[in-house]
Amino acid sequence: MLSFILRRLGTMALTMLCLTLIVFFLINLNPNLKKLAISQTEMHTSAEQLEDWLVNHGYRQNFFVRYGQWLGVLPKQPVTDPATGKPTQRFAFCNDPVEPTFSGVLQGDFGCSTKFKTTVASKLFPALSATGILMLCVLAVMVPISLLIGILAGMREGSRTDRTLSVASIASTATPEYVSGVIFTVIFASWLGWLNGSAASASQGITFYNFTLPVMTLAIYGIGYIARMTRASMVEVMTQQYIRTARLKGLSFGSVVVKHALRNALIAPFTVIMLQFPWLLTGVVIVEVMFRYQGFGYTLVEAAGNNDIDLLLGCSLVSVFIVLITQLISDVGYAFLNPRIRVQ
């Protein structure tokens, strides 16, 4: 088991290295650098001045050297001030080093956000914790509801409850966040006026009034999928021999479901819930933009829209890490939960 986890961690590190290299390449394409230079300099600068700005801020060094610096395996060089010829900080607003130092992701330095004029870490981590709260609320709503729907539907396959709940969960998987968000806002904010159509005030304090709509919108898309997986797993368990034996022994239907079926039927949904995280990440971006909630997704969109290289790299690193670590947890957890699966 330990060697399996170690091997997976090795693959994970390799994957992250490849992915960050690709992201680094795509962000640093020439048109993107030009856009960054235009947004960072004064209006009406000539093409030469833009080029000077890029050279002065170290963006014209060799691609692999810069990737190594970002990663922390090569020392970050300070730039030379063209006027005085002395080494100066690249960006004064986030205390870049004046002498060559190893200061990259491996050392815990995520770089410098050009859009927000601060370090990436001081922007990214508060945003992550805000999104963490949102995610917790969503999971607290989504998981119990979807498991309940799945179990009720799969308990008696083909019954009227099953048909109704199955169609309902298909409908919920057909409703992406930007559709359900609009519909919920129309119903609950515009017509009924019960809830707030914006979660901008949630960064000061979360209330039922401003936080329900984002949570509902995010949860609804996942519910259908998890419920369908739970239903499939439940249907399979209910046809097993030991369920029939338990029924023939004279146990009531309710206690067969709760004591015998449930425990075995809930293994598959665990994996599904874990693998939902990558989808939730896309949903988070949509919902945070739609309801103006200042979290990770909002930061990602701002970084991408303004070509904020280091911030976008930080965001990619975090999201890729989340995807890979949830895959690992789901594999390891599945092996733990299901004694029939053993890793060789």
Site for other proteins, rule CB under 8 A: 11, 15, 18-19, 23, 26-27, 29-32, 34-35, 166-167, 170-171, 173-176, 178-179, 181-183, 185-186, 189-190, 197, 278, 281-282, 285-286, 289-290, 297, 300-301, 304, 312, 315-316, 319-320, 323-324, 327
Question: From the CB of 26, what's the least distance to other proteins, in Å?
Answer: 4
Nearer to other proteins, 214 or 297 (CB): 297
Q: What would the two tokens of residue 35 be? A: 């856009």
Nearer to other proteins, 20 or 69 (CB): 20
Question: From the CB of 32, what's the least distance to other proteins, in Å?
Answer: 5
Contacts of 261 (CB under 8 A, 6+ apart): 155, 234, 237, 238, 243
Question: From the CB of 245, what's the least distance to other proteins, in Å?
Answer: 26
Nearer to other proteins, 2 or 191 (CB): 191
Question: From the CB of 338, what's the least distance to other proteins, in Å?
Answer: 19
Nearer to other proteins, 18 or 98 (CB): 18
Nearer to other proteins, 101 or 282 (CB): 282
Question: From the CB of 118, what's the least distance to other proteins, in Å?
Answer: 21
Nearer to other proteins, 29 or 258 (CB): 29
Question: From the CB of 22, what's the least distance to other proteins, in Å?
Answer: 8
Q: Are 230 and 150 in contact (CB under 8 A)?
A: yes
Question: From the CB of 171, what's the least distance to other proteins, in Å?
Answer: 6
Nearer to other proteins, 32 or 88 (CB): 32
Nearer to other proteins, 260 or 276 (CB): 276
Question: From the CB of 330, what's the least distance to other proteins, in Å?
Answer: 13
Which of these, 101, 131, 99, 292, lies nearest to 213 by C-alpha position?
292
Half-sphere exposure in the Cβ direction for 212 (13 Å, CA):
11
Burial of residue 282 (CB within 10 Å: 0-12, 13-18, 19+) is middle
- Return the axis-axis angle of helices 208-238 and 177-184, rounded to nearest 10°: 130
Which of these, 102, 97, 58, lies nearest to 79 by C-alpha position?
58
Nearer to other proteins, 93 or 279 (CB): 279
Q: From CA 56, how far away is CA 334, in angstroms rounded? A: 52
Question: From the CB of 300, what's the least distance to other proteins, in Å?
Answer: 7
Q: What would the two tokens of residue 162 be? A: 């099953």
Q: How many residues does the chain have?
A: 344
